[in-house]
Structure 1
Amino acid sequence: MTLPDRSALSRRDYLRTLVAIGGATALSACVSESGAVDVPTGTDDPESLPARQHAWNDVLSRDDDGNVQSPEHHVLLPLSLVDEPTDAARAQVEDALRTLERAYEWSNEGLVFTIGYTPAYFDRFDDSLPESVALPEPAALTAAENPVFDEFDAVLHLASDHSQVVLEAEEGLFGDHDDLNGIAVETDLTGVFERLEEQRRSGFVGAGLPAEHTDVSGVPDSVPEDAPFFMGFRSGFIDSQATEDRVTIEDGPFAGATTQHIESLETQLRTWLEQDSHPMRVRKLFSPEHADEELVGDVGEKLTTTNGLTDERIDATEADARDGVVGHAQKAARGRIDGEPPLLRRDFNTVDGDRPGVHFLSLQHGIDEFVRVREAMTGADLDVGNANNGILSYIFVDRRGNYLLPPRSLRALPPTNPQ
């Protein structure tokens, strides 16, 4: 493993690069760079933690407008089962995950995480998933797509404001680190799961972080200095997101669960930022009216808790398309159900493979709701050229996967019929 040249990078970018590399050597370099990081410890009382794995919002930080702020560092760790699930293996997985919860506070200052399971994992059981769980196999959603599908067994999503925490947690879970924030690792995942390092994904979110990656091919100097995302604008407005309650499965043996979709997208960032003017990017990302009325600002700072997609702006989608340009968010908003957004997005930037992109991660009641929004966003029904059809000509799907995030009580190798 070759570590990055420390002298050529800012401290933040160096730590982000270490998270992307992963492994014990990167962890050692991260510790050397960060020194003693004051990370709050977790709890010995599992009952004090939320019953839902995806219950993050109450413990994450907020911006000045009250929007939930994603943790700065993220790792998506694909896992493959070594053998068929047993009660002993379930106990081992649960003990290993409980070690994380004892070591780190359930927050962005500590660690939040989920473990989700693919349709391929559940296919090994004789029973089918209950009707309350809508978890189909991943599929291409347009004729232009040819993604690789996530067909391993599970994915572990680790997130923290501290790069050292996500690296340390990953290494501790696989027997390469004996101590997590002062807590001895007595049980790990080795022997139950194999981590698929070649499919490991990482990323970051935070104002100014995208602009620190102009050394990466495909990231131009024109990335806005204060933007938290590569596309140049804020995202994750609380009133334009589904609530955690909205995405939770309420009935059946998996009550308290949710479904998760992950798309790994490559972005044509140089074209996006240098082909068009700022007003045109606003038109394509939000709506023409957002640009005409100057609703957005340089990086979305004028938008407070909502993306500004009113019923009138959504209803104008077809007319705007006929006039020549239609917005990405405007199209996607047509997928709302009874006026409410069905998706809770937790996506983040990436430079995996030394190219700019985004790992689009969404939670929803069922994968069919993601498909509904994705089809609305594609805008195949609209009379508009591809170049002006939102951001379609700037993003390309590389990978796609569907997952069930069971409630905490069933997160360790769940059967299809937990009863």
Structure 2
Amino acid sequence: MSDSHGIDRRAFVKAAVAIGGASALSACLDRGPELDVARGPEDPASAFPERQHAWNAALPTDDAGNNHHPRHRILLALDYDGDGTPTDAEREAVEAALTGVERAYERSADGLLLTISYSPYYFARFDADLPGSVDLPEPRALSDFEDPDADDVDAIVHLASDHGEVVMGAEEALKGEVEELNGVSQPESALTDALSVRERRTGFIGDGLPAENQDVNGVPDDGPVPEDAPLYMGFESAFEGNQPGEDRVTIESGPFAGGTTQQLSTLTLNLNQWYEQDSRDQRVSKMFCPHHASEGTVEGTGENLGNDPQMDDCGDPTETARSEGVVGHSQKMVDVREDDKPIILRRDFDSTDGDRASVHFLSLQRTIADFVTTREAMNGDAVAADSAVGQRTNNGILQYINTVRRGNFLVPPRSLRALPPSNPDSDAADTAEVARA
């Protein structure tokens, strides 16, 4: 669908999200029909769940039961501006800003979903350590062939909506740049009263969006991304059968019970060989498994699989690597399951940040150790050591991705989301905080 200016509406909105700012928001609103998005509750604190990351109930599902993930994303990478530890006034300003946008839009994919999370670098300013129930190490390389930069910002705000105008509007409101959002007055307080935006990162997920945004580095010039693919690599990925429930990734005890940990990696893509040299069967073999390629299990983007990628049919990864000379990415993940479900919850999305095809791989898990275990399975070191499969070649999708940045974050429960102390139950933390305030 094109607007009156002859520019594809979806492409324009995506471009506006990537550019950001009040001018891009205004231009986007001027070019399309007025949004009809329901407002949020007057008192989000009592209406919304304590788990910030409890999005699933607010997401629609497709006919197969897979969650529909919001199409437009913004990540605001933030640094705390103050000296020492946060004050009560700063916490109140951050909470007021977050609550303001929640009043403006209903909590849904059609409205707005958001989380705010904090890095180990943020918590290092406190005298008290994080409680033992929280696993939040500094990020590190997790294979011999990667050397990612540490994502050392203090906090990340994740904004998600099916409407680019909504995530842009929420961003501007959090920065104190708009007085009214969706007809709802915004507070004078802003997120930026206590935090500075070091970097904004953007992205998208959903049928057709990658194909509309493939004129970037890392994708062949002839536009090979399937028109209906939800991700650059051409296949469905967020099958309900390949996602754990939110209970599995939630911290169960301690002062941060009800929270979760968030891992965020920036992966650049090199899809020239993927589309220009590899055949369709080779792509299916590497993404799913050789059995699926030989049996024609995957049609198109894989939508025919419903909510189950049928990994039980793929066989043992090492045996497959020995006999076929290739092993599938999803196939390697089968051994890292609990009650036949993965142990990390993926909410990743594609991006054109830096004019490069990339992925912001965002996952939620009870402990960062769960992510490490999953990534080690993806590396397939044991499979490569016991077959002709290389460390990266024919070893799933490893040769097509490069991890350039990785960060670990704590997503606190809602009641602690505004500049939390490192250990809310610690007398030492409380005493140190009062002294610094």
Q: 1:363-378 alignment to 2 at 5 Å?
A: 363-378=364-379
Give the aligned residue type for 1:327.
G
Say which of 263, 271, 274 aligns to 1:272: 274
Shift of the alpha carbon at 1:291?
1.1
CA distance in 1, matches of 2:174, 2:262: 22
State the alpha-carbon separation in 2 of the partners of residues 30 and 40 from structure 1.
Answer: 19
In structure 1, the residue matched to 2:205 is 205
For 1:239 and 1:284, how far apart are their aligned partners in 2? 19
Q: Which residue of 2 aligns with 1:72?
A: 71
> Which whole-Å CA distance do the structure 1 matches of 2:208 and 2:340 have between them?
33
Partner of 1:405: 411
Question: What amino acid is aligned across from residue 254 of structure 2 in structure 1?
Answer: G
User: Which position in structure 2 is the counterpart of 1:152?
Assistant: 153
Report the counterpart of residue 48 of structure 2 in structure 1: 49
RMSD: 1.4
CA contact (8 A) 1:173 1:188 kept: yes
Per-residue CA deviation, residues 23-44 of structure 1 (Å, 9 max, x unaligned), is 1111111111224111110001
Superposition map of 1:236-385 within 5 A:
236-310=238-312, 313=314, 316-323=316-323, 324-382=325-383, 383=387, 384-385=389-390
SS of 2:145's partner is coil
Task: Measure the CA separation in 2 of the matches of 1:275 and 1:292.
Answer: 18
- Distance (whole Å) between structure 2 residues aligned to residue 59 and residue 179 of structure 1: 24
Mapped pair 1:58 → 2:57: yes
SS where residue 375 of structure 2 aligns? Answer: helix
Aligned equivalent of 1:184? 185
CA contact 2:93–2:193 (8 Å) conserved in 1: no
Amino acid at match of 1:139: R
Question: What corresponds to 2:129 in structure 1?
Answer: 128
Cα offset for 1:7? 6.5
CA distance, structure 2, for counterparts of residue 259 and residue 34 of structure 1: 38
Q: Who is 1:175 aligned against?
A: 176
Q: Figure out how many residues of one structure are paired with residues of the other and give that number.
A: 410
Q: Which amino acid aligns with 1:395?
A: I
SS at the partner of 1:322? helix
Residue 216 of structure 1 deviates from its aligned partner by: 2.4
TM-score by length of structure 1 reads 0.95
Deviations 1:90-110 (A, max 9, x none): 111111111111111000111
Alignment map for 1:384-399 (pairs within 5 Å): 384-385=389-390, 386-399=392-405
Task: Please give the secondary structure, in 1, of the residue aligned with 2:301.
Answer: coil
Query: CA offsets per residue over residues 375-401 of structure 1, 9 Å max, x none?
Result: 000111113123211111100011111
Indicate conservation of the 8 Å contact 1:336/1:373, yes or no.
no
Measure the CA separation in 1 of the matches of 2:350 and 2:7.
Answer: 18
The whole-number CA distance in structure 2 between the counterparts of 1:32 and 1:398 is 37
Q: Rate the CA distance shift 1:114–1:398 in 2: closer, same or farther, 3 A.
A: same
- Where in structure 2 are the equivalents of 1:99-118 lying within 5 Å? 99-118=100-119
Runs of 5+ unmatched residues, structure 2? 426-437
Larger mean CA deviation between 214-223 and 11-20 belongs to 214-223
Q: Relative to structure 1, is the Cα distance of residues 303 and 78 closer, same or farther in structure 2, using a 3 angstrom cutoff?
A: same
Cα deviation code 1:131-174 (max 9, x no counterpart)? 11111110011122121111111000000011111111111111
CA distance in 2, matches of 1:340, 1:223: 29
Q: Deviations over 1:256-288 (max 9, x none)?
A: 000000111111122211211111100000111
Distance in 2, Cα, partners of 1:402 & 1:141: 13
Q: CA deviation at 1:340?
A: 2.7
CA displacement, residues 18-64 of structure 1 (integer Å, 9 cap, x when unaligned): 10111111111111122411111000122111110001111112112
- Listed one character per residue, the Cα deviations across residues 328-377 of structure 1 (whole Å, up to 9, x for unaligned) are 11112222235331011000111111111111110001000000000000
Contact kept? 1:75, 1:201, Cα under 8 Å: yes
Rounded to whole Å, the distance in 2 between the matches of 1:148 and 1:211 is 29
CA distance in 2, matches of 1:7, 1:379: 50
1:9 Cα shift? 4.9
d(CA) in 1 for partners of 2:217 and 2:317? 35
Aligned residue runs from structure 1 range 11-90, under 5 A: 11-45=9-43, 46-83=45-82, 84-90=85-91
- Give the drift of 1:217: 3.4
Contact 1:333 1:373 in 2 (8 A): no
The answer to whether the aligner puts 1:225 opposite 2:222 as a matched pair is no
Give, in angstroms, the shift of residue 8 of structure 1: 8.2
Task: Output the CA distance in 1 between the equivalents of 2:287 and 2:351.
Answer: 19
Contact preservation (8 Å) 1:77, 1:157: yes
> Which aligned segments of 4 or more residues in structure 1 are displaced greater than 4 angstroms?
6-9
Percent identity between the two aligned chains:
53
Aligned-partner Cα distance in 2 for 1:217–1:151: 26
Q: Which moved more, 1:6-15 or 1:232-241?
A: 6-15
Moved more, 399-408 or 30-39: 30-39
Task: Provide structure 1 residue ranges, at least 5 long, that are not aligned to the other structure.
Answer: 1-5
Paired with 1:366 and 1:103, the residues of 2 have a C-alpha distance of 33
Task: Give the TM-score, by structure 2 length.
Answer: 0.91
Q: Does 1:214 align with 2:214?
A: yes
Q: Report the AA paired with residue 87 of structure 1.
A: D
Secondary structure of residue in 2 paired with 1:115: strand
